[in-house]
C-alpha cells in the first residue's frame, strides 16, 4: 500500500506539540503549578487548552485528519457552533474557584480530568481552523471563528489578573515562592494568560484575514469586464 509522508513542517508542528505536553506534565512547571504558583498552573492550562492542541491539529496530514474526522461524533463536535462553546465552557467552568481548588486538592483524579478536558476541547477548537474534514470552512469564516474565540475567551485572563483579591484559596495557603504574594502571583498569571491569548489568536486571525482579502482581490480581478 502506498503511503504519502507528511511534509517536514507538519512533523515539526506535531512533534513540538508533544514536547509541550511533556514540558507541562513532567517538568518543574507541573510541580510548581500543583503545589505553589498559580502562574505555573495557568501556563500549564494554556499549553493544554491552546498551544499543544493547535500544533497537534496543524501537524496532522490531511489524509490522517480525514480518517480521524470519520470517527462517529467528530462531525458534530468540530462544528464551529459546537466546538467553540465547548472550549469556552470548559475553560470558564474549570476556573470557577471552588472547582479549581477542588481539582488541585485531588491531583490524581479531578485534576487529570481537568487536563484531559482542556486537551480534547482544545483539539476540537482548532480543528475547523486548520483541517478541511469533515467540513471545509472558507477563509473568511475561519478568520471570524478565531476572532470570536479571542474576544470571548480573553476576558478570563483579564478577570483573573485584575480582581483586587486572591480568588483561589489553594494558592493563598501555598508556600510563598520567589517572593510573590498570592495576589501578585495571580496578577502575573492572569495578565500573562491574556497576553498569550492576544498574541496567538490575533496572529492567526491576521493570517486568515489577510488571506481572505487576497482571495477577494483575486476573485474581483477574475470577474469579466462589463
Continuous segment of H or E residues that includes residue 195: helix 182-221
> Residue 225's pLDDT is what?
64
> Residue 222's pLDDT is what?
75
| DSSP type of residue 48 | I
- DSSP SS3 for 197: helix
Helix axes 8-23, 52-59, angle to 10 degrees: 150
Phi, psi (5° rounding) for residue 6? -75, 145
Nearest to 11 by CA among 55, 51, 49: 55
Q: What is the pTM of this model?
A: 0.93
Cell match 475547523: residue? 128
pLDDT digits 0-9 by tens, 130-146: 999 999 999 999 999 99
Is the torsion defined by CA of 64, 70, 71, 75 positive or negative?
positive
> Residue 3's pLDDT is what?
55
Q: Which residues in the chain come in under a pLDDT of 70?
A: 1-4, 225-226
CA 3, CA 63: separation in Å to the nearest integer? 10
Amino acid at each position: 500500500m502506498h503511503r504519502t509522508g507528511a511534509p517536514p513542517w507538519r512533523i515539526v508542528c506535531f512533534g513540538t506539540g508533544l514536547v509541550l505536553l511533556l514540558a507541562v506534565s513532567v517538568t518543574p512547571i507541573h510541580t510548581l503549578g500543583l503545589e505553589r504558583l498559580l502562574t505555573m498552573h495557568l501556563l500549564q492550562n494554556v499549553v493544554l487548552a491552546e498551544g499543544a492542541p493547535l500544533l497537534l491539529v496543524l501537524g496532522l496530514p490531511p489524509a490522517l485528519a480525514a480518517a480521524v474526522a470519520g470517527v462517529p461524533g467528530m462531525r458534530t463536535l468540530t462544528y464551529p457552533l459546537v466546538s467553540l462553546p465547548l472550549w469556552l465552557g470548559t475553560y470558564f467552568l474549570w476556573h470557577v474557584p471552588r472547582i479549581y481548588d477542588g481539582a488541585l486538592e485531588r491531583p490524581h483524579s479531578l485534576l487529570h480530568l481537568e487536563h484531559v478536558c482542556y486537551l480534547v476541547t482544545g483539539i476540537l477548537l482548532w480543528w475547523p481552523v486548520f483541517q478541511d474534514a469533515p467540513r471545509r470552512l472558507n477563509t473568511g469564516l475561519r478568520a471570524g471563528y478565531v476572532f470570536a474565540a479571542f474576544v470571548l475567551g480573553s476576558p478570563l485572563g483579564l478577570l483573573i489578573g485584575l480582581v483586587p483579591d486572591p480568588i483561589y484559596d489553594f494558592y493563598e495557603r501555598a508556600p510563598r515562592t520567589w517572593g510573590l504574594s498570592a495576589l501578585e502571583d495571580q496578577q502575573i498569571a492572569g495578565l500573562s494568560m491574556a497576553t498569550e491569548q492576544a498574541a496567538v489568536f490575533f496572529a492567526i486571525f491576521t493570517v486568515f484575514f489577510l488571506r481572505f482579502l487576497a482571495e477577494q482581490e483575486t476573485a474581483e480581478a477574475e470577474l469579466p469586464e462589463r
